[in-house]
Each structure stands twice: as C-alpha cells, then as structure tokens.
Structure 1
Amino acid sequence: MPLPNIEDARQLGDEELSETILDIKKELANLRLLKATGRLEKPHEIRHARHRLAQLLTVERQRQLEAEAPAAATE
C-alpha cells in the first residue's frame, strides 16, 4: 500500500482536518499499544500513520500561516 498523498489532505475542510488529525493520533496510539503487546501484524501501518499525521499537521500549519499573513500585512 503506497503512502497517502498530501493532496488528499489539502482537499479536506478545516473541521474535517481537525477530526482526521484526532483520529490518526488515536490510531497511532492504538498501533503503538499493539506493538508493545506483540499483537501488531502489519508494522508498516505505524509508518503510514505517522506519515499521514505529518501531512495533516503540515496542511493545518500552512492554513494558519495563510490566515495570519493578511493580518500581518495590514499592520
């Protein structure tokens, strides 16, 4: 399974983005628990979840900076 594409994250709305970030964080915690107990069958899923979380956080930060840019320009 290929890693997720960042374009998919950019198409999400702000609220969807926040919900997806929380979902991925929960999934990552669950995967770490499974790994610690030795029940994780697909270890690559941790890497995919971390990658997806990084993409989502990047998109969220880009949107924050875009929102701040007009405010900084008027000052």
Structure 2
Amino acid sequence: MNAKELHDKTPDQLHEELAKLKKEGFNLRFQQATGQLENPARIRVARRNAARVKTVLNQKAAQAAAE
C-alpha cells in the first residue's frame, strides 16, 4: 500500500482501512507473544501502514478545514 492509493480513498474508507490494520497489528502481537509468529517483519509493516493511513487522514482533515 502506498500513499498515492490512500489519497484516492474517502475518509470513511480510510477509517475502515485503519481499523483493519489495527486489528491485524493486534493479531500479530498476539501471535508473537504466543510464539506462533513466523515473520516478525509483518508487525513493522502493519504499524507503518497504519501510520500512512493516519497521515493521509490528517492531511485530508487539514485540507477540509482550510477550505
């Protein structure tokens, strides 16, 4: 997922994507705690994707407030 794809989505779609990423992050942390996680790099990717979504949401909110 890149930021260009995220800019094309609506804020509602971004909120849904953020919820999905947070749930994925929780599941990955749970797997890590129980020793079932095969690829620890997925935690980092999920966290960064969530940060990208939050950044785009904040940019859209600032743009809407400026108008």
What stretches of structure 2 of length at least 5 have no aligned partner? Answer: none
Residue 44 (structure 2) aligns with: 47
Identity %: 37
Q: Which has the larger radius of gyration?
A: 1
Q: How many correspondences in the alignment? A: 67
Q: Does 1:32 align with 2:10?
A: no
Quote the Cα distance in structure 2 between the aligned partners of 1:35 and 1:9.
28
What stretches of structure 1 of length at least 5 have no aligned partner? Answer: 71-75
> Cα RMSD over matched residues?
0.9
Measured against aligned partners, the alpha-carbon deviations of 1:10-38 in whole angstroms (never above 9, x if no partner) come to 12122111100000000001100001111
Show structure 1 runs of 4+ deviating over 2 A: none
Q: Does 1:15 align with 2:1?
A: no
Normalised by the length of structure 1, the TM-score is 0.84
